[in-house]
A and B are shown apart, each in its own frame.
Chain A
Amino acid sequence: MRVDLQPAYILHSRPYRDTSLLVDLLTPDFGRVTAIARGVRKTKTPKRQLLNPFSRLLVCWQGKTDMKLLTSFEADNHFLSLKGNHLYSAFYLNELLVRLLPEMDRHNGLFFAYEQCLAALQQELDIEPLLRGFEFRLLEELGYALDFTLDVRNGCEIEAQGFYDCHIQEGFYAAAPDIPEAYLLKGEWILAIAAGNYSAPATRQAAKKLARRMLKPLLGSKPLHSRELFKQINPDN
């Protein structure tokens, strides 16, 4: 199989053999793709720089098994300069994608969701709503879509005064009286998340806990390094 001029973001690249790089790409038509960029480490060419994280390229590759070969790549005239916590957040997005997104699995909107998220990080917008939005979007793509307006067990709408629990495969439902407090979700928080309104600190907290709880079984026991790093310089976060 040959693929021509596919837009792609570099998620990660690591040395491969003597002079090559193994790069993880996010593409609109093929999802995450891992391919070899042959010989790019031989000299310090400007081409090598294009293969750094967050750079957007047009790429061509061939092969359909594990060992795809980048036959050419060029800059897509789109340059980001991410800084500080916004840069760390962008690394977090990449780590999530590399860890969770299966290779060559088409995810139509995810490329654009990622692109929008990077652009917003570049503009140094409020980080938490961006990350939560992306996490819930990624969960949806992985088959764990949450309906933030519905109590799935009785078919009623989520009520602002209600108390709920969440199951990764089902969704929200009225909380049992003995639910641990850490898992308890107020209806108003769920509705605020649905509306993308993260102005209340309680909503932020709840959304963060919820996203972590949902991602945890998918991530397994290995920690997310970008999250640890973020925590070290933002100890109150």
Chain B
Amino acid sequence: MFSPLIDELMASLRCLPGVGPKSAQRMALHLLERDRAGAERLAMSLQKAVAGVGRCERCRTLTEQKFCGICANNRRDNSLLCVVETPGDVLAIEQAGTYQGKYFVLLGHLSPIDGIGPEDIGVDQLIKLLQHDPGHPEDRIREVILATNPTVEGEATAYYISERAKNLNVTVSRIAHGVPLGGELEFIDGGTLAHAFSSRRSL
């Protein structure tokens, strides 16, 4: 409908999550009609990010450095390692602001039917990290906190890692799931409530 370059831009924008043909058209026209400078900047930073950003060699999160800011930060507790599914999960936990340890990012979860196995989510690298002797006893990882999602795939992933880490002299824990703070029981879905009951604790 438009000229080839505009069509191509719209088709490219559709690789973004949640962007259908309508939104792609709106975005393309906005960039070309109203914000050429913004478009220029977007194109440049996209190019730079794609060329420069890789994965942290220690935790697999996205970074353009050898080690990401968190891994390189010596003030953080090296003895705690929190395992999450995505870099977005790292951000969420960082924003909560209470966790002071380090992370390992799986970039996915186990999904047997889709054929996504341990080798696809870096479990061997994680186990090596747990086995690694840093030379300094304080830096040895003492506890792994499994913070994969509370979905069945997240559970399957957490279980797999806990089994593999069993004989490594490391405490393995799983974050608690259940009723959200400030929520009212009446409005919470049945699945969450069932889970909250099955993982209740004595006071």
**Interface contact A84-B159, CB-CB below 8 Å:** yes
Residues of the A chain whose Cβ atoms lie less than 8 Å from the Cβ of B153: 52-53
Contact flags (1/0) for A55-94 with B, using CB distance below 8 Å?
1000000000000000000010101011110011011101
Residues of the B chain whose Cβ atoms lie less than 8 Å from the Cβ of A95: 112-113
- Check B36 for interface membership: any CB of A closer than 8 A: no
Q: Which of A79, A87, A92, A233 contacts B190 (CB 8 A)?
A: A79
**Interface contact A229-B14, CB-CB below 8 Å:** no
Taking residues whose C-beta sits less than 8 angstroms from the other chain, chain B's interface range is 20 to 34
- Check A18 for interface membership: any CB of B closer than 8 A: yes
**Interface contact A88-B156, CB-CB below 8 Å:** yes
- Check A108 for interface membership: any CB of B closer than 8 A: no
A179-237 with Cβ < 8 A to chain B:
224-226, 228-229, 232-233
**Interface contact B191-A91, CB-CB below 8 Å:** no
**Interface contact B159-A225, CB-CB below 8 Å:** no
**Interface contact B112-A225, CB-CB below 8 Å:** yes
CA distance A90 to B155 in the complex (A): 12
Contact A19 to B20, CB < 8 A, known contacts A82-B152, A229-B117: yes
Residue of A nearest to B15 (CB): A18
Q: Which of B117, B159, B160 contacts A83 (CB 8 A)?
A: B159
Residues of the B chain whose Cβ atoms lie less than 8 Å from the Cβ of A18: 14, 17-20
**Interface contact A98-B113, CB-CB below 8 Å:** yes
**Interface contact A79-B191, CB-CB below 8 Å:** yes
Contact flags (1/0) for A4-48 with B, using CB distance below 8 Å?
000000011010001100000000000000000000011000100
**Interface contact B112-A229, CB-CB below 8 Å:** yes
- Check A116 for interface membership: any CB of B closer than 8 A: no
- Check A54 for interface membership: any CB of B closer than 8 A: yes
**Interface contact B190-A94, CB-CB below 8 Å:** no
Contact flags (1/0) for B139-170 with A, using CB distance below 8 Å?
00000000000011101100110011000000
CA distance A92 to B112 in the complex (A): 8
Contact flags (1/0) for B185-199 with A, using CB distance below 8 Å?
000011101110010
Q: Which of A14, A42, A46, A55 contacts B114 (CB 8 A)?
A: A14
Residues of the A chain whose Cβ atoms lie less than 8 Å from the Cβ of B114: 12, 14, 225
CA distance A118 to B14 in the complex (A): 40
**Interface contact B159-A87, CB-CB below 8 Å:** yes
**Interface contact A91-B189, CB-CB below 8 Å:** no
Instruction: Tell me how far the C-beta of A10 lies from the nearest C-beta in chain B, rounded to whole angstroms.
Output: 10
Contact A225 to B113, CB < 8 A, known contacts A42-B18, A54-B152: yes
**Interface contact A49-B159, CB-CB below 8 Å:** no
Residues of the B chain whose Cβ atoms lie less than 8 Å from the Cβ of A12: 113-114
CA distance A182 to B110 in the complex (A): 33
Instruction: Tell me how far the C-beta of A84 lies from the nearest C-beta in chain B, rounded to whole angstroms.
Output: 5
Contact flags (1/0) for A156-186 with B, using CB distance below 8 Å?
0000000000000000000000000000000
Residues of the A chain whose Cβ atoms lie less than 8 Å from the Cβ of B189: 46, 49, 75
Residue of A nearest to B155 (CB): A87
- Check B115 for interface membership: any CB of A closer than 8 A: yes
Contact flags (1/0) for A106-124 with B, using CB distance below 8 Å?
0000000000000000000
In the complex, 10 of the A-B residue pairs with CB atoms within 8 angstroms, ordered by the A residue number, are A41-B18, A49-B189, A52-B151, A54-B152, A79-B191, A83-B155, A87-B155, A91-B156, A229-B110, A233-B164
Given contacts A75-B190, A225-B112, A229-B156, 14 further A-B contacts (CB under 8 A): A11-B113, A12-B113, A55-B191, A79-B194, A82-B155, A83-B155, A87-B155, A87-B159, A90-B152, A91-B152, A92-B112, A225-B114, A228-B117, A229-B160
